[in-house]
Each structure stands twice: as structure tokens, then as C-alpha cells.
Chain A
Amino acid sequence: MTGSLSRKVFLSLLAVASLAMLLVLVPLNWNIYSSHTQQLETAVQSQGRILADMSTATILFDQPQSAETILASLRESSDIVSATLFRLDSDTAELTVFASYGDGAQALPFTPDAQGKSLFTDNMLHIVSPVLIQQSPVGYLYMQVKLDRLQQQITRGLALAAFAFAVALLVTLWLAHRLSHRLLRPVHELIAVTSAVAQTKDYSRRVLQTFEAETGELVASFNAMLHVIENYDTERKEKEAQIEQLNRDLEQRVEQRTKQLSDSVQHLKDTQLKLVEQEKMASLGSLVAGVAHEINTPVGVAMTAVTHLNYLTEELKTAFAKGSLTKSAMERTLADLQETTIITLRNLERAAEQVRSFKMVAVDQSNEELRQFNLKEYIENVVISLRPQLKRTTHQVVVDVPEHLQLNSYPGVYSQIFTNLIMNSLIHGFANIDHGTITIQAMADEEHLQLNYYDNGRGIAAAVKGKIFEPFVTTNRQQGGSGLGTYILYNLVTQVLKGRIDLVDDVQQGVHFAILLPFAQVAVTSDSH
């Protein structure tokens, strides 16, 4: 690369010098050639004019010997090969040879005129000068001049120019070589140091040689630049070390924080699970409380009836022992006994039915076992289990589910889902609303079971809609809402039933939860299917 640059500089200098010399020498030689040619032409023309003037009288007085004598003076001019003096016949305009010199009389190469003419041929200059008397031609002098001497002069000039060119070229070669070497030596030094710095990253290296003028300044600037880079490099290394230390500290801190965060998350998850469990227990407790309350009435009635039955039995026993039992008393007592028994039986049956129903829901909520059930009946049982909450209101629950839709799934999950939804509607949706309506729809096709839950309550606040399924989201925390209801709902649908639940914004009033469950999970065995 450096060799190439050196060669380029050398060749450029050589080319420029050669071009400059050619630009000088070529016009100079051309000028010399033109000058010599013009000089020769002018000299011969002048000589011809003088001879023509001198010959005027010889023609006019018919003195050919004198003319020959005049022309003989040309022997001093070795270049003039021949000279021929023509006399002009004014009547016929014919030219006759009057006198000649040299190679004998020569015919004119062109038609002459009063101004005279000149012509260059290969190796000859032809000059014709008019012989004038009072501005009118009486004859012409034709001279032939060989150009050998001119060509010798030109050749000599060219040889000199070539010699000068060669010498100049040699000098230029030497100068170009020396100059390129001198100019590029600092560059080579710079390249060597630059390469060493690039390879070793050792910015303490310097160009130690001293150079003159601009190259010296260049080297000094380069060394100064290396000094600056060295300082920067040292600072950079220190900064990098600091940054590395900071990074290490930061990594440790991040690790600590991550661990703390991880612990917090784990704690949160534990707390969340605990809360969910508590929520479930609370829900179950609420259910149990409701069940106890519901069973309390028929059981109380049954107890009263049994007490009355016991009284009647004692009274009958006493009367029979006294022998005071009358037929009518017997018949009246038996009628009372029968009525009391019927009341007792009816209330116990009612209690048994409620226990059975509650037991089913409660057991399903606590035990997530897979079994077959009728969806409509099961939802109605769930509604029944929530009667303690519903009967204090005038809200209405409409179960719009096909009669024979049998599922093979986890009924407890459904119980929890609808319990949550209905309780949310009662607590939040129907707050300050007297006559609310909850509608539960179910539709099945070959691939999915679609469950829709509607209420016409207050709906969900816009700020909460986007995160309704996130944990601890509630608008009723002051009244004890945990914010886990919809979160549990979401997990039950997505984790246990492998379906999806969406809050659909397609009702003017209230809420619409759409639950889509795959059949693979619900295993429908409906007669309708």
C-alpha cells in the first residue's frame, strides 16, 4: 500500500514534469520551426525582390549578360538551387526565359502575379518575385531554394529539445524519487506507529524521528493526538473499571431485589391462595349458614309438631290409663295425630330435600369430582342454595337452559361460578335496585358449550372493566369485598374447565359474562344431542 502510494507520487510527479516539459518544448519547437521557415521565406523573398529590382534594366534594355551576372551573385547563397529570370510579353502575356542560374532554366510551378508568390514542397521552397517597372511587371524571377539547411536546423533543434527533454526527465526522475521518498518517509513512520498502536493498543508509542517543515508539524500533531488518545484511553479504562464495579454492585443489588421480589411474589401467592381458600371457606360458611337457616324452619315446625304429637300421645295414654278415653276423644286425638304427623312429615321432607340439595352443592363445592349431572337442575339447585340471599329481595333468576343437557364435568366448579356471579349481581349489580333480573342461558353445539350470564343491574365501572378478572379488583372494598370473586371465576373457567370467559360489552344495562367451554371438557350427554 505504501509502496503503491510512493509509486503513485513518483509517477504523478514524473507525469506532471513530463507534461510541463512537453507543453513547453512542443510549442517552442513548433515556434522555432515556424520562425525558421518564415525567416527563410522572408530572406529569400527579400533577396528575390532585390535581384528582381536589379534585373529590371537588364530586361528593359535587353541585357541578358548583365542579368546572368546579377543572378550569378546567388552563388553566395548555397541553398539556392536555381534562379530563372523570365521576360513578360505584354501583348501575349507569354513568359520567355531571359536568364538563368544554377540547375538551368526551370518552369514556373504556378501562375505568378504582381505581388509574387512562395510555395513549400517536400524539400524545396519556390519563390517567384515580379520584375516591376513603375509598378507594372515586365518579368519574373523564379528561385528554387532547397530546405536541407532548414531541415538540418530543425533536426538540430529537435535533437537539442530531445536531449533537453531527456536530461530534464532524468533530473525529474531523480527529483521525483527523492521527493517522494522524502515526502513519504514521515508517512511510513506514521503508518508503522499507527499499525503498532492498532495491534497493541499501546497509545504510549510515538514517532521519534524528527522531520522538517509541514511533515514535522504533521508528526508533532500525530504525537499530540496519540497523547490525547492515551489520556482518553486511560480515563476510559478507569471509567470502565468504575462501570464494571457499578455493574457488579448493581447485579448484586438486582439479585437481592429479585430474591426479595421473588419472596414477595411467593408470599403474595401464598396469601392469595390463603385468601382464595378463605373466600371459599367464607362462601361455604355462608352456604352452611343459609342452609342452617333454611332447615331451621321445617325442622322447628317438625319439632313443634312432634312435641304436639308427644303431648297428644301422652294425653291419649293418660286417658286410656284412666279409662276415660272416649270414642270421640279417640277419634279427635287420632285426627290430630294424623295431622301433626303429616305436618311433621311434610316439614321433615322439606328439610330433607333442602339438606339433599345443599349437600349436593356443598359437597360439590368442597370436592371437585368429575361426575355426570343435569345442567339445568344443577343451576336451579345452586339458585335454591342462594335462596336465603334471594328471598330477602324481589330479584328474579331466570334459568334458560335446555332441560336434558347432561354434562360430565365438575359440578362444584359450576356451582362456584354461578354462586360467584349471582352473589356479585346481588351485592354489586343490584345495589339500590329493587327488582333485578338475572338470566342464565346455555347453548350447546357440536364443539362448544356457550353459557351466558346476564343481569340488568348497574353494570361494572369503566375503570374496572379492563381488569375485572385481575385479583383484588373490587368497588366494594369498604363493605368487605375481597376482590377475588371474578379472579376465582376466571381461574375456574380457564384452568379447570379449559374454557374462556369474557365480559361482553353488548348490553345497555347490567353485565353480560360469556363463558365458552370446549366439549372435550364438558362431555355433553344430552338427549337433545
Chain B
Amino acid sequence: MYVLTRLASALSLLMCAVLSLPGYANNIDEQRFAKLQAAYVYNIVKFVQWPTENNNTAFNICLLADQKTPLFTYFLKGLQQQKVSGRAVQVHLINGAEAEDAAHSTIVSNCQLLYFTREPQSAGWPIIAAFSDQHVLRIAAPGAAPNRYSLIDLVLEDSRISLYLNAQALPDFTLPLSPSLLNITKRR
């Protein structure tokens, strides 16, 4: 727990340090931005009250991205081996082509968090419907066009990442969200 906290704090500080640099949005390094996104995702997870009956299974974070995206690497480095509510985190990459096949795979069906890097439909990801489970937290990455599937959108505003809450998607997500998180999210 202590390690997890320290990681969260470190990521926060990193985020602050990075985001506090002027003109960061234009000059930011892609890798560091990927780390920042991983930190945000990991911290958002903490504000959700996850079911406890599956404590022995892994907590699966599924990254819906292209094969070549560096995000996956940094998600793996930053989040693999971490724990959420006592469950070990496992990061999975699901690209557009595989998504068709993964629709029926065990991994896809067991994802607890889905991180969009693009607008699903524009990428031709009809499988997105498979993730419409009410217990799957769907977060959209900065730059990914806001879509009707994501519950929380990370939006880059004034060199800072802001959190937006999709009120339309809120009824589809039935796990309790912390008021503290809701308090800092903006409404879309």
C-alpha cells in the first residue's frame, strides 16, 4: 500500500512538474506524456469502489490503441505489478484488428478499465459494444475525440490535463465513484 501511495505521489509530482513547464503542450515529449496519462489513469482508479469478490483475480487495464503506441510500454512500466484494491494490475493492449477477435476472448471480457486513445467508431471498433459492461470504467485519452462510450475524458487545457465527466455515460457505470473525483471533474 505504501509503495502504491508513493507511486501515486511520485506520478502526481511528475505530472505537476511536467505540466508546470510553459509551452509544454506543444513541446512535450511523447514518452513523458504517456507516463502522465498512466499516472492519471492509475489515480482515477483509486476513486472507484471496486467489487471485492474477485480479489484473487487480476485487475485488467485494457489499452485500446495502435500497436506502435508508446503508451503501452509506459503503461506496462508504470502500472504492471501495481495493485488496485489488493488485485495485481495487468495491462493489455488491444488494437483495432485484434479487437474483432478479442471480442470473444477472455481478456477482453475481463477488462476492468478501458482506455481509449482514439474515437472507437472512427477507428472502426464495433467491438466497443462488448465493453459496455456496467462495471468497466471507460476513460478517453487526451486527443481522443470525446465519444459516447467514455465516462471520463482527459482533456488538455491550458497546458494542464482536465477531467471531464460524461453525464450520458454515467448511468451505464454502476460502481460508486468518489465525490472527491466528481468534485474535480467538469461536465461535458
Which residues of the partner chain A approach B180 to less than 8 Å between Cβ atoms? Answer: 53-58
The CA of A30 and the CA of B12, in the complex, are separated in Å by: 49
Stretch at the interface among A61-69, A120-128, A489-497: A61-69
B179 at the interface (CB under 8 A from A): yes
Which residues of the partner chain B approach A515 to less than 8 Å between Cβ atoms? Answer: none
Number of interface residues of B (CB under 8 A): 25
The CA of A90 and the CA of B15, in the complex, are separated in Å by: 15
B32 at the interface (CB under 8 A from A): no
Stretch at the interface among B3-11, B53-61, B72-80, B118-126: B3-11
Given contacts A134-B1, A134-B46, A136-B2, whether A60 and B183 have CB atoms under 8 Å apart is no
Which residues of the partner chain B approach A56 to less than 8 Å between Cβ atoms? Answer: 47, 178, 180
A292 at the interface (CB under 8 A from B): no
The CA of A59 and the CA of B13, in the complex, are separated in Å by: 10
Given contacts A90-B10, A133-B8, whether A58 and B184 have CB atoms under 8 Å apart is yes
The CA of A88 and the CA of B5, in the complex, are separated in Å by: 11
* Residue of A whose beta carbon sits closest to that of B43: A60
Q: Are B9 and A89 in contact (CB under 8 A)?
A: yes
A291 at the interface (CB under 8 A from B): no
The CA of A63 and the CA of B2, in the complex, are separated in Å by: 23
Which residues of the partner chain A approach B6 to less than 8 Å between Cβ atoms? Answer: 90-91
B167 at the interface (CB under 8 A from A): no
Expressed in whole angstroms, the minimum distance between the Cβ of B87 and any Cβ of chain A is 13
Q: Are B183 and A70 in contact (CB under 8 A)?
A: yes
Which residues of the partner chain A approach B184 to less than 8 Å between Cβ atoms? Answer: 57-58, 61, 63, 66
The CA of A88 and the CA of B15, in the complex, are separated in Å by: 15
The CA of A136 and the CA of B178, in the complex, are separated in Å by: 16
Query: B1's contact among A57, A61, A135, by CB below 8 Å, is which?
Result: A135
The CA of A499 and the CA of B163, in the complex, are separated in Å by: 153
A138 at the interface (CB under 8 A from B): yes
B21 at the interface (CB under 8 A from A): no
Which residues of the partner chain A approach B19 to less than 8 Å between Cβ atoms? Answer: 62
Given contacts A57-B47, A60-B12, A134-B46, whether A90 and B5 have CB atoms under 8 Å apart is yes
A-B residue pairs, 4 tightest by C-beta: A57-B180, A136-B5, A90-B9, A66-B184
21 contacts between A and B (CB under 8 A): A54-B180, A54-B183, A56-B47, A56-B178, A57-B180, A57-B181, A57-B183, A58-B183, A59-B12, A60-B12, A61-B184, A62-B16, A66-B184, A88-B9, A89-B13, A91-B10, A133-B8, A134-B1, A134-B5, A135-B1, A138-B5
The CA of A70 and the CA of B47, in the complex, are separated in Å by: 17
Which residues of the partner chain B approach A66 to less than 8 Å between Cβ atoms? Answer: 183-184
The CA of A70 and the CA of B183, in the complex, are separated in Å by: 8
Which residues of the partner chain A approach B4 to less than 8 Å between Cβ atoms? Answer: 134
Which A59-94 residues have a C-beta within 8 angstroms of B? 59-63, 66, 70, 88-91
* Residue of B whose beta carbon sits closest to that of A88: B9
* Residue of B whose beta carbon sits closest to that of A135: B1
Taking chain A's interface residues, is the majority helix, strand, or loop, or is none over half, making it mixed?
Answer: mixed
Which B123-177 residues have a C-beta within 8 angstroms of A? 160, 163
> Can you list, as one digit per residue, whether each of A363-391 has a CB less than 8 Å from chain B (1) or not (0)?
00000000000000000000000000000
Expressed in whole angstroms, the minimum distance between the Cβ of A507 and any Cβ of chain B is 134
Number of interface residues of A (CB under 8 A): 22
> Can you list, as one digit per residue, whether each of B44-71 has a CB less than 8 Å from chain A (1) or not (0)?
0011000000000000000000000000
Which residues of the partner chain B approach A58 to less than 8 Å between Cβ atoms? Answer: 180, 183-184
The CA of A56 and the CA of B5, in the complex, are separated in Å by: 13
Expressed in whole angstroms, the minimum distance between the Cβ of A49 and any Cβ of chain B is 12
The CA of A136 and the CA of B160, in the complex, are separated in Å by: 26
A57, A61, A134 interface centre (most CB from chain B within 10 Å): A61
Which residues of the partner chain B approach A70 to less than 8 Å between Cβ atoms? Answer: 183
A55, A133, A135 interface centre (most CB from chain B within 10 Å): A133
Q: Are B5 and A133 in contact (CB under 8 A)?
A: yes
Which residues of the partner chain B approach A61 to less than 8 Å between Cβ atoms? Answer: 12, 40, 43, 163, 184
The CA of A133 and the CA of B9, in the complex, are separated in Å by: 10
Q: Are B183 and A138 in contact (CB under 8 A)?
A: no
* Residue of B whose beta carbon sits closest to that of A69: B183
Q: A56-B178, A60-B43, A89-B13 are in contact. List 5 more A-B contacts (CB 8 A).
A: A54-B183, A60-B12, A91-B6, A134-B46, A135-B1
Which residues of the partner chain B approach A90 to less than 8 Å between Cβ atoms? Answer: 5-6, 9-10
Expressed in whole angstroms, the minimum distance between the Cβ of A8 and any Cβ of chain B is 70
Which A39-58 residues have a C-beta within 8 angstroms of B? 53-58
Which residues of the partner chain B approach A91 to less than 8 Å between Cβ atoms? Answer: 6, 9-10
Which A399-457 residues have a C-beta within 8 angstroms of B? none
* Residue of A whose beta carbon sits closest to that of B5: A136
